[in-house]
Amino acid sequence: MATNVVLVLACFIAQLHLSVSGEMNSMESVPDLEKSMYMVVDGYPCVRLLNLSGEIGCSNPGREKVVAPIVRFKNANELTQSSAVLVSLDEIQSLFIRISSDTNFARNIGGVLVESGTEIQNKLKGFSPAEKFPQAEFSPYQNINYEWNPIGSGIMWNAYNFPVFLLSKSSSLALQEVAIKSEKSKKAYTRDVAEFDLVMQTTKSGTHDSESCLKEQTCLPLGGYSVWSSLPPINISSPEQSKPVILTMASMDSASFFRDQSLGADSPISGLISLLAAVDALSHLDGLNDLSKQLVFLVFTGEAWGYLGSRRFLLELDMESDAINGLNGTLIETVLEIGSVGKGFSQGVKTFFAHTAGVSSATNETLNALQRAQDSLKSESIEVSMANISNPGIPPSSLMTFLKKNSLTSGVVLEDFDSVFSNQFYHSHLDDLSNINSSAIVAAASLVARTLYILVSDNKDLNASALSAISANVSLVEELVSCLLSCDPGLSCSLVKNYISPTDTCPSHYVGVILGEPSSSPYVGYVDDVSRFVWNFLADKTSIWMENASSACPRDCRNAGQVCIRAETDEKGFCVVSTTRYVPAYSTRLKFESGTWNVLPPNSSDPMGLMDPIWTESNWNAIGLRVYTVQDAAYDHLILVGGVAITVLAYIAIVITRAFITKALKRD
């Protein structure tokens, strides 16, 4: 009997040795072991943002990681424990509505995992986490209950004390399989859990508004750099600049529930691309110096967050700072803003709407110029209509801040909608390449370029043949679309790399945070890829090239009016004459002093400053999401009890065996 027990033990030990040695051969390092245990999930987080009155966005509830079993929302009628809820795109609105209305359900939300997929996206009628009247507090008119964005749910403006991640397409499929497996094996002793690492510094330090977190340095202000440029360059050495200015502007930042998935294809990047293509079309004209008016182009950032760019621009204009050197605000005659134009295409016709700010001679001139430009483009099937007079005023746009500062400002906003947004994915991660039509952007660019030529010609010097020659470059528009709105090729496209060395391939048009001390000549490492590209593109297209331009910029291009373009490329840049400037974009109620940000008291002379929310973004150490399998606690207890029982039984067996052997030996 003893021999049999020894043989059994020997076989068991040999089998265990082979198993362990085989496992060791396949795992040669700790990372290999971790890789076999944990599945790292690709995802895009919703992060914590703050303002003067509180918080919005998402964060782990405390200082630790959140670990919760994965359940699918459609099967989660009731949650009995903290759970990671896997939700499809078509259910996300229902989930957050239930979270806001059902406290018992919300209490057991450990985290939310949002699936992504082309099939569901194509079926969705719309999804906008923004408000029904975005940033209504900056409206220059009284009717702030008007619904420009009827589909807007406003869920991105709430605070959530649990992590939320948007999954990549591959991760969505993987987690769907994990959830289905868990549902099929409910009685199993293991379960799959998600581990969320979304610990925000503001949560850890207890700083729950912008003023306190800036003081404790647990957050940074939202902001970046806007860009303006003139065509032709302004002679800044001339003491008198008397030409009226036609100001054309667009925005380059968007917003989304998920920080790094803010493409904003229709709103507002279609307008940005249209502006860049219009500048390119006008840059090929001769004799612009001889025209009676001055063209100025302005691209804002930070507009999705309290109109940071336009409000700071107007303040810099008042202060006559270096960032505005060469531009006289009193000479601005009219403003033409290019808004969302990517969906202005229906049944072969490109249709746009002109939204006006009151009635003035300058506004009427702009409308007449738009009409003449439309007539000159009859073969392109372009229509421009006046917006409905029942609208309360202009739609949410940068022009609002100009009107809020000076109600007599003449301006027109060109959009692809009349009374309500045509973009059903406004400020959503779904406002992507599939949500726009590039032919509409080409049409808008040609329309704007011809309108501007008519305006600066003042109708007197209008050259009909020159007008008919002005057309947007279709291939340029298509290249800008692929560079700014997709990952393939994304910012690694040849057009962008011709000007800058991008830090990322996949574009995101979230404004980000402003780093270091704001400056009109910032350190390029503190300026995001898109702003640097826009600056170089505009500086190039609006420039006068020097005859003896070297292949590398001498130090700072010291001659008056010169700037260095393409300095990040292998060619080390070229000095050209161009009036192109960076303008810092951040809250008008913030001041950078001695390495820290201070909140300034409200100024009664600045009505927009009184409403300034002062947006900031929380700092964090790391953000991560992974999935792994754990044993059920009850099973662990059972193993413990079983182990103790086996130990006791083994002890009893040993005592009995010893007694038996002792008795047998005595008998012998």
Question: Is it the case that residue 644 has pLDDT exceeding 60?
Answer: yes
Average pLDDT over residues 427-437: 94
**CB within 8 Å of 559: residues ≥ 6 apart:** 575, 577
Q: What is the dihedral of CA 318, 319, 323, 325, to 10 degrees?
A: 80
Confidence of residue 435 (pLDDT cuts 50, 70, 90): very high
List pLDDT tens digits, range 450-495.
Answer: 999 999 987 666 767 778 899 999 999 999 999 999 999 999 999 9
Least-confidence region, from 34-43, 325-334, 633-642? 633-642
Higher local confidence (pLDDT), 199 or 20: 199
| Residue that the structure tokens 């220059």 belong to | 140
Burial class (CB in 10 A: 0-12, 13-18, 19+), 286: exposed
CA 10 to chain centre: 63
Average pLDDT over residues 309-335: 94
In angstroms, rounded to a whole number, what is the distance separating the alpha carbons of residues 14 and 20?
Answer: 10
List pLDDT tens digits, range 520-572.
Answer: 999 999 999 999 999 999 999 999 876 665 667 876 677 778 899 999 987 77
Question: Is it the case that residue 25 has pLDDT exceeding 60?
Answer: no
List pLDDT tens digits, range 202-218.
Answer: 999 999 999 999 999 99
In the prediction, which pLDDT does 548 show? 61
In the prediction, which pLDDT does 5 show? 39
**Residue from 569, 546, 580 nearest 276 by CA:** 580
Least-confidence region, from 57-61, 291-295, 472-476? 291-295
Least-confidence region, from 252-256, 316-320, 410-414? 316-320
Q: Containing H/E element for 196?
A: strand 190-197
**CB within 8 Å of 537: residues ≥ 6 apart:** 276, 279, 499
List pLDDT tens digits, range 126-153.
Answer: 999 999 999 999 999 999 999 999 999 9
In the prediction, which pLDDT does 457 show? 87
In the prediction, which pLDDT does 582 show? 97
Phi, psi dihedrals of residue 560, rounded to the nearest 5°: -60, 130
Across the chain, mean pLDDT equals 89
Confidence of residue 30 (pLDDT cuts 50, 70, 90): low
Question: Is it the case that residue 225 has pLDDT exceeding 80?
Answer: yes
List pLDDT tens digits, range 331-342.
Answer: 999 999 999 999
In the chain, what percentage of residues exceed pLDDT 70? 90
Question: Is it the case that residue 631 has pLDDT exceeding 80?
Answer: no
**CB within 8 Å of 170: residues ≥ 6 apart:** 42
In the prediction, which pLDDT does 414 show? 98
In the prediction, which pLDDT does 221 show? 98
Question: Under a CB-based contact definition with an 8 Å cutoff, are residues 302 and 617 in contact?
Answer: no
Whether the upstream peptide bond of residue 61 has omega within 30° of 0, thus cis, is no
Higher local confidence (pLDDT), 262 or 643: 262
Question: Under a CB-based contact definition with an 8 Å cutoff, are residues 541 and 563 in contact?
Answer: no
Q: Regarding beta strands 109-114 and 66-72, do their DSSP bridges make them parallel or antiparallel, or are they unpaired?
A: unpaired
Report, in angstroms and rounded to the nearest whole number, the Rg of the chain calculated over CA atoms: 31
Question: Is it the case that residue 240 has pLDDT exceeding 70?
Answer: no
In the prediction, which pLDDT does 389 show? 93
Question: Is it the case that residue 9 has pLDDT exceeding 70?
Answer: no
Average pLDDT over residues 625-642: 75
